[in-house]
Amino acid sequence: MSEIRERKDYSNGPLCLSGRGVTKVFGLGDNRTVAVDHVDFDFHEGEFVSIVGESGSGKTTLSKMLLGLMTPTEGEILFEGKPRDISTGKKRKEYWKGIQAIFQDPFASYNVFHKIDSVLLDCIHLRGGKNLSKKQKVEMMTEACSFVNLKFSELTNKYPFELSGGQMQRLMIARIFLLKPRILLADEPTSMVDACSRATILDMLFELRRETGMTIIFITHDIGLAYYVSDTVYIMEHGRFVESGKADDVILTPQAPYTKRLISDVPKIHEVWDLSTVDLLKEDA
C-alpha cells in the first residue's frame, strides 16, 4: 500500500476535464436552490481527485453535470481542453466512451430485469465489439470478472439481485474494466458496502489506474478516506469549493474553517487505537 501514498504532482500534466463558473440552480422564486455555485476546477490526466463535502453540499449534482446527465445552468465544462459538446445523441455516446461512473448504491445501479451478462455485453457493444464472436465476448467478460475476483461462470445467467452488495460493486468495476474510459467518476462507491469490501474496491480502483492510467474523480464525505487515496483534494461547502490543492497541503495544513471542522469530525484519525480489547479476545481464544 505504500506506493499509493507516494503522490505525484500532476498539476503540469495535460488537462482532461475542467470547469469554469459551473453553476446549477434548481427551482424558481422562493424555491430557488443553488446546488452548485460557480465552481472552477482542473482535473489532469492520471490524477486521483477527491471531492469532499458533507451531505447536500452539491457533490452529486456536480458529478451529474460532469457526466453530462444534467446540463449546467451557467458556466462551461471543458473536455480535454475543448468546450464539451454533447448536444446530440451521437456526441453524447462518444463522450460517454471517455467518461464513466460508479454509483453509490449498488442495489439501485442495476436494472433488476436484466441478467449480469447483458450488463457486461452492453459495455462490449459500447466499445464497438458488437461483431465479435460469442467466444471472444465470453473471454472478455471472464477476464473482466477475474480482474475483480469474481468468477464469470458462476455469474452468468444470474440476476444482479442474487449477488451481495460488495459483489455488485465489484461487478461495476468489472464494467469499467471493460469500458476502459479515460475518466472514472466514482460517486461514494464505498459508502454502502462493509469495511472489508471497501478496501478491496479501493484496491481495484488503484489497480485500474495503474493499468490504464485513467483519471479518477472520487466523490466522498469521508475526508480521511480522501486523504488516503487522492493526489488532489477539493473541499466543497454549500455548492462552492472552499479549498483545493494537493492532498498533503489541504489535509495537513487546512486553511478554510470548514476543512478544519471536517478534519476534526473524523474520529481519531491522529490518535492511536486502543487495541487492548483485541488482545484480550486473543488470549481467550
Partner 1 sequence: MKNMFRQIFHSPKFVAGFVIFVIILLTMWLYPLINPGNPLEMIGVGTFARPGTYFSLYDAVDAPTETLRLSDADDKRIDASMSMEDRVAMVAWFEQAGVDVGDLDITDTDALLDLWRANYDSSTRLPGMTNAKRNYYKRLDRSIQSMQGADKYSVMHKDADSGEMVERSTINKTDYVNVAQVVNVKTLPLGTDNFGRDVLKELVSATKTSIVIGLIAGIVATLIGLTLGLLAGYVGGITDDIIMFITNIFTVIPSFVLLILISYSIGQEQRGASVVAIVIGLTSWTWTARSVRSQVISLRNRDHVNLSKLSGHSLVRIILTDILPYIASYVVMAFILQVSSGILAEAQLSLLGLGPKTTEVPTLGLMMNWAMLYSAHTNGSWWAYFPVILTITLISFSLNLMNTGLDQVFNPTLRD
The grid coordinates listed for 177 are: 474494466
What one-character-per-residue DSSP string does 1-12 give? -HHHHS----TT
The grid coordinates listed for 158 are: 444470474
Under rule CB under 8 A, how many of the chain's residues touch partner 1?
23
Residue 92 contacts partner 1 per CB under 8 A: yes
Given 20, 38, 54, 96, the residue binding partner 1 (CB under 8 A): 96
Give CA–CA dist 189/201, Å, rounded.
Answer: 8
Nearest-approach distance from CB 284 to partner 1, in angstroms: 43
The piece of 35-43, 97-105, 139-147, 190-198 that touches partner 1 (CB under 8 A) is 97-105
Identify the CA nearest to 251 among candidates 267, 235, 239.
235
Identify the CA nearest to 94 among candidates 81, 79, 74, 109.
79
Any bridge partners for residue 218, and if so which? 50, 186
Within 23-82, the residues that bind partner 1 by CB under 8 A are: 64, 67, 69
Residue number with CB closer to partner 1 (51 or 124): 124
Q: Give all strands of the β-sheet with 240-246 in edge-to-edge order.
A: 99-102, 183-187, 215-220, 48-53, 232-237, 240-246
Nearest-approach distance from CB 253 to partner 1, in angstroms: 37
Identify the CA nearest to 251 among candidates 267, 217, 220, 228.
228
Residue number with CB closer to partner 1 (159 or 228): 159
Taking residues 243 to 272 in sequence order and writing x for each that binds partner 1 by CB under 8 A, - otherwise, the string is ------------------------------
The residues, ordered by sequence, that sit 6+ positions from 91 with a Cβ below 8 Å of its Cβ are: 85
Taking residues 117 to 136 in sequence order and writing x for each that binds partner 1 by CB under 8 A, - otherwise, the string is -----xx--x----------
DSSP 3-state helix, strand, coil percentages of the chain (rounded to 5)?
45, 25, 35
The piece of 42-50, 102-110, 258-266, 275-283 that touches partner 1 (CB under 8 A) is 102-110
The piece of 45-53, 73-81, 90-98, 219-227 that touches partner 1 (CB under 8 A) is 90-98
Given 10, 43, 48, 110, the residue binding partner 1 (CB under 8 A): 110
Residues in contact with partner 1 by CB under 8 A are 64, 67, 69, 89, 92-93, 96-97, 100-101, 103-105, 108-114, 122-123, 126
